[in-house]
Chains A and B, each alone.
Chain A
Amino acid sequence: MSASVGTRVLICMGTSGLAAGADRVLETFIRELARRNDEKTVQKKIIFKSVGDRGIFRDTLVDVLETGRERIRYDRITPGKVSRIVEEHLLGGIPVADYLAGDIYEKFFRGQSRRVLANCGEIDPESLDEYIENGGYEGLNRILNELCPDEVTEIIKESGIRGRGGAGFPTGLKWAFAAKKDSPEKYIICNADEGDPGAFMDRSVLEGDPFAVLEGMSIAGYATGASQGYVYVRAEYPLAIQRLKKAIETAYDRKYLGPDIMERGFSFDISIREGAGAFVCGEETSLIRSIEGERGMPRPRPPYPANKGLFGKPTVINNVETLANIPIIIRHGSDYFQTVGKERSTGTKVFALAGKVKNTGLVEVPMGTTIREVIFGPGGGMLSPRSGFKAVQMGGPSGGCLPMDCLDTSIDYESITETGAIMGSGGMIVMDESTCMVDIARYFIGFTASESCGKCPPCREGLTKMLHILDSIVEGKGSRSDITELERLALLIKKTALCGLGNTAPNPVLTTLKYFPEEYNIHVTEKRCPAHVCPALIKYRIMKENCSKCGLCRKACPVNAIQWERGNYATIDLKKCIQCRSCIEVCDFSAIE
């Protein structure tokens, strides 16, 4: 490869990068260089590479790598800033100090332990050569040359890796069950149906390092005796699907997939199946039904998929992050994998950090790190200096909201479960004082109730009943007995629902009841929403004693319902007001009730 000569410019172009306009930045670079098409420019041998998202959301990230010189990182690059970088840095040799990624960027990555994400934002995700240059396919090569399938499973068992999709079942054990079954047909399924709202780890890995997932699947296929793999990926991730398709095509062309891989007699095929917008399909038995071309409804387990899965054959279902860890374990050994983490939770975990936190993005940390270290380390702390930390939501609709007291909880399967939340797939949404916990509980139950497949009554009827109760509480019509009933239903559904969706759906309610009982109480007794979120409980009245006459609220109102003149109190015209809360959000003085 010619990578070592000339100048390489990396531009992060995953979904998030593209949303920030990374494609326009790249176009501008190319246009600016073409415009200066002189000898000096040509000599520089500047190569542009589009790479996946690196994990931090600071609009477009641009890195410049030159042989023998320190790597220069820019963030928040817009097309307007490109011409200076071209002129002063790429051609002039002096980095543009004004645009350099500073402290925040550096802090975000400090304290992370990037293994699964190592390639994301660093290599061209569509280039097999770059994947190989960075150690890719060493693992598959090693097992095909040196190890028998049982030895591979043994390494995975020894590593202690547990499923990264939520439940935390030991991966090696799962493989061993499937390997033991005597069947001419077995399947490996990669669960990329990342349906948890608030999670985007899998999307970023698929967009940024798709070959790692393919290699992980191939290794799983070899270890268990499967020759067909499926990637079940959400249709909402078009870029991930596109990159995955390209990677699969390339892997076939170069004989890393198909018959007789690396001429070692092992054959493995992978096809993509696109999800069709059903959250329940993240549950493994539903996912299997969906690949079979049916309505994705779960069935009771056992039999577990490892015994009787896709088309009735032994099937291993692993999550994207789990599979992306596999090549690393095989390449470096199970001991290396355990160099970070805790005894029963080894390795790293990727979290999708979002919400009211300064730096949002993907954070990969050793298991055993505390929640606080993630939020106040890479996360940089709370977004607004005015509004302090209130809760962190972990594990999506199956997880829970944890208060300040739980911030020092170690991130490992057991400790997180003890709090009432779950590790889940890794969504971590930070909430500040402007978030209403009853509203959040209602939001999640609204989601799971509408995503319930309807097969079992506890989930179908129970969640709907819970939603009705929560609706009446946020509308100011709730009573104390509603809270008792809510808890009773939650515990009942947890115990009796058929699948993981229903079993875990009450968690957001149970955790908010456990950690924020007073907030429910205020809603039902005082008919007040302390966070000013629940529309029916806000009066949209200016409290003169707090109003500083600053006029910010008038500016924020999208429908001109607020009158204000310099030196006067603001007033809200309730006939015009659409109750959108824009004024409440901007008011620095809590002057609107």
Chain B
Amino acid sequence: MPETASHQLVNLSDMRVEIKKIIRGYQGEEGILIKIIQDIQSMFDHVPEKAVDILCNEMDLDPVRIYGILTFYGQFRLSPPGKHTMTVCQGTACHVMGSKKISEYVERKLSTSPGSTTSDGLFTLEKVACMGCCGIAPVVVVDHEIRGHQSIGEVDHLMKEIRERERD
């Protein structure tokens, strides 16, 4: 998968080239649309409206088909995420071990809700049903790094640390 960051691909024709490349990579495979959209999301960190237009054009699809998928599956984002992503696992074990108070605390502290980004663009809160790390509940995932046995204190410390790092 090409590892190009979103900001480097502002140009529409570049975007078209990249998307065409993705489509070509799957030529001949049946039912590959979701995979193509997943690749687009990992390239741009979200699925830009323009990318949907290009995809429709290249694959001769109605936009409704793409948006139907984008809104059905929890994985897809229609706007770019913040600089750091944070997820408080909502799994059963995490719930029993007290994840709710952590997620409520984080939401209050960041004044945002799951699926949204803080106004300074620093954090995006994401929602996950379960990370499958129930043995180390409650679990918090920060920028894809899984942290087990979390508490409000630890999460608070982590958020402060990230903020300070970003300020420097």
**Residue of B33, B133, B153 contacting most chain A CB atoms (<10 Å):** B133
A529-544: CB near B (< 8 Å → 1, else 0) gives 0000000000000000
Please give, as numbers and ranges, the residues of chain B lying within 8 Å of A275 by CB-CB distance. Answer: 75
Which B135-158 residues sit within 8 Å CB-CB of chain A? 135-137, 139, 144, 146-148, 152-153, 156
Contact, CB under 8 Å: B31 / A197: no
Taken together as a complex, chains A and B put the C-alpha atoms of A297 and B73 apart, in Å, by 11
Taken together as a complex, chains A and B put the C-alpha atoms of A295 and B73 apart, in Å, by 8
Contact, CB under 8 Å: B148 / A19: yes
Q: Which residue of A lies closest to B101 (CB)?
A: A580
* Any A CB within 8 A of the CB of B129: yes
Please give, as numbers and ranges, the residues of chain B lying within 8 Å of A293 by CB-CB distance. Answer: 30-35, 69
Please give, as numbers and ranges, the residues of chain B lying within 8 Å of A234 by CB-CB distance. Answer: 132
- Contact A57-B75, Cβ < 8 Å, known A19-B147, A274-B38, A429-B92: no
Taken together as a complex, chains A and B put the C-alpha atoms of A274 and B39 apart, in Å, by 11
* Any B CB within 8 A of the CB of A268: no
Q: Number of A residues contacting the other chain (C-beta, 8 Å)?
A: 61
Q: Looking at chain B, what size class is its interface with the partner chain?
A: 35 or more
* Any A CB within 8 A of the CB of B95: yes
Please give, as numbers and ranges, the residues of chain B lying within 8 Å of A311 by CB-CB distance. Answer: 30-31
Contact, CB under 8 Å: A236 / B131: yes
- Contact A294-B69, Cβ < 8 Å, known A200-B135, A580-B104: yes
Q: How far is the CB of A558 from chain B (nearest CB, A)?
A: 4
Taken together as a complex, chains A and B put the C-alpha atoms of A578 and B147 apart, in Å, by 24
Please give, as numbers and ranges, the residues of chain B lying within 8 Å of A396 by CB-CB distance. Answer: 92
Taken together as a complex, chains A and B put the C-alpha atoms of A292 and B32 apart, in Å, by 7
Instruction: Choose, from A152-160, A249-257, A355-363, A568-576, the stretch at the interface.
Output: A355-363
Please give, as numbers and ranges, the residues of chain A lying within 8 Å of B98 by CB-CB distance. Answer: 581, 585
- Total A-B contacts with CB atoms under 8 angstroms apart: 158
- Contact A238-B144, Cβ < 8 Å, known A292-B30, A311-B30, A427-B92: yes
Contact of A355 (CB < 8 Å), options: B29, B72, B93: B93
Which A203-261 residues sit within 8 Å CB-CB of chain B? 203, 234-238
Contact, CB under 8 Å: B130 / A360: no
* Any B CB within 8 A of the CB of A499: no
Which B60-108 residues sit within 8 Å CB-CB of chain A? 68-69, 72-76, 90-98, 101, 104-105, 108
Which A341-375 residues sit within 8 Å CB-CB of chain B? 352-356, 360-361
Q: Which residue of B lies closest to A274 (CB)?
A: B38
Instruction: Choose, from A115-123, A276-284, A514-522, the stretch at the interface.
Output: A276-284
Taken together as a complex, chains A and B put the C-alpha atoms of A447 and B89 apart, in Å, by 13
A residues with a Cβ closer than 8 A to B are: 15-16, 18-20, 57, 194-200, 203, 234-238, 271, 273-279, 290-297, 311, 352-356, 360-361, 393, 396, 427, 429, 431, 435, 440, 443-444, 447, 451, 453, 558, 578, 580-582, 585
